[in-house]
């Protein structure tokens, strides 16, 4: 049975408290998975050829609270930037359960990443629920993993859970993060170092596949060589330590983080 809007807001607050979750993080999980639901329908209806999640949302759906919280959603879609915007807007019209979606007029081109950022207003029945930013990037040739979301709270809220979710393959995601945090445009990418440490910590990596993916990404983007330098900029050290503490990492000292990062890259290189 569909819950009234006021009831859903109260349920969100109660479930977040019971599950020990940040209320706004749970709200974003609801929005992200509802959006995935309409993307799946768009694929089934032939509006989208395919899609996949990448970036922080893919990490959260795989690893739930062990991953850092993110506020924007990264999608891989086929076509030019204009094509991606067009088919994404068509997909939004499907809605999901009692959620509706509307793309706002403001967009932002991110030329270095061949990506366009759009704002999506999410509505539950007749009331505004949230606005999220969605980055529409190129699909590329990476593999797709079908991921069962591991986030908590949605079932307890009575929200349908879309499963599985199409996510960029874990090896390709690590390769892209490794390229991003070690290259000439790495400013502000300290978080990718911890994402790589988390993937390694959870023991789900096939390092031979990671190496093949990394070699392909580094060759395609041609900004710096693989394996890259693993020296961590001094300006990242305080941020890395704070993030590691917030996420409950077993190591929080920046020197130890740098050493572990170097060991992971060496393992990938030698795989």
Sign of CA dihedral 36, 106, 176, 212: positive
Specify the pLDDT at position 32.
96
If you write DSSP's letter for every residue of 94-123 in order, what string do you get?
T-BTTEEEEEEEEEEEEGGGTEEEEEEEEE
User: Average pLDDT for residues 232-259, to the nearest whole number?
Assistant: 94
Q: How confident is the model at residue 4 (pLDDT cuts 50, 70, 90)?
A: low
Specify the pLDDT at position 111.
76
Q: Measure Cα distances from 18 to 21, 22, 23, 158 in Å.
A: 8, 11, 11, 15
pLDDT tens for each residue of 17-58: 999 999 999 999 999 999 999 999 999 999 999 999 998 999
Q: Cα(first)–Cα(last) distance of the chain, in Å? A: 52
Q: How confident is the model at residue 8 (pLDDT cuts 50, 70, 90)?
A: confident
pLDDT tens for each residue of 163-182: 999 999 999 999 999 999 99
Q: Name the token pair of 65.
A: 């609270």
Specify the pLDDT at position 13.
94
Give bridge partners of residue 110 from the DSSP assignment.
115
User: Average pLDDT for residues 129-151, to the nearest whole number?
Assistant: 92
Specify the pLDDT at position 233.
94
Residue 135 has pLDDT above 70, yes or no: yes
Residue 122 has pLDDT above 90, yes or no: yes
**Are residues 101 and 85 in contact, defined by beta-carbon separation less than 8 angstroms?**
no
pTM of the model as a whole: 0.89
If you write DSSP's letter for every residue of 28-95 in order, what string do you get?
HHHHHHHHHHHHHHHHHTTS-S--EEEHHHHHHHHHGGGSPP-SEEEEEESS-HHHHHHHHHHHHTT-
E strands, 139-187, in order: 144-147, 165-168
Q: Which residue has the higher pLDDT, 27 or 185?
A: 27
What are the residue ranges spanned by the domains of the chain? 5-168, 171-270
The b/e string for 156-185 (b: 16+ C-beta within 10 A; e otherwise) is: ebebebbeebbbbbbbbbbbbbbbbbbeee
Q: How far apart are CA 216 and CA 87, in angstroms?
A: 28
- The two beta strands, 72-77 and 127-138, are parallel
Specify the pLDDT at position 171.
95
Specify the pLDDT at position 80.
93
High-pLDDT (> 70) share of the chain, %: 98
3-state secondary structure of 136: strand
Specify the pLDDT at position 255.
96
3-state secondary structure of 243: helix
Q: How confident is the model at residue 2 (pLDDT cuts 50, 70, 90)?
A: low
pLDDT, averaged across the chain: 92
Fold of 5-168: Beta Polymerase; domain 2 (3.30.460)
């Amino acid at each position: 049975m569909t819950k009234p809007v006021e009831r859903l807001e109260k349920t969100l607050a109660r479930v977040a408290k019971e599950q020990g979750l940040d209320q706004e993080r749970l709200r974003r999980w609801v929005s992200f998975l509802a959006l995935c639901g309409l993307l799946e329908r768009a694929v089934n209806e032939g509006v989208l050829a395919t899609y996949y999640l990448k970036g922080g949302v893919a990490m959260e759906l795989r690893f739930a609270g062990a991953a850092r919280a993110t506020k924007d959603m990264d999608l891989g879609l086929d076509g030019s930037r204009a094509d991606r915007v067009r088919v994404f807007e068509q997909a939004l019209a499907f809605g999901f359960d009692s959620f509706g979606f509307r793309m706002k007029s403001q967009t932002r081109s991110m030329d270095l990443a061949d990506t366009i950022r759009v704002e999506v207003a999410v509505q539950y029945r007749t009331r505004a629920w949230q606005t999220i930013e969605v980055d529409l990037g190129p699909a590329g040739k990476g593999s797709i993993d079908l991921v069962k979301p591991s986030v908590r709270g949605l079932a307890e809220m009575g929200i349908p859970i879309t499963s599985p979710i199409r996510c960029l393959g874990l090896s390709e995601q690590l390769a892209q993060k490794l390229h991003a945090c070690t290259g000439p445009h790495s400013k502000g990418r300290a978080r990718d170092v911890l994402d790589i440490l988390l993937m390694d910590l959870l023991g789900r990596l096939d390092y031979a596949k990671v190496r093949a993916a990394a070699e392909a990404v580094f060759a395609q983007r041609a900004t710096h060589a693989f394996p890259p330098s693993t020296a961590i900029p001094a300006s990242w050290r305080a941020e890395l330590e704070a993030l590691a503490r917030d996420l409950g990492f077993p190591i929080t000292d920046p020197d130890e983080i740098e050493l572990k990062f170097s060991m992971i890259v060496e393992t990938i290189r030698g795989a």
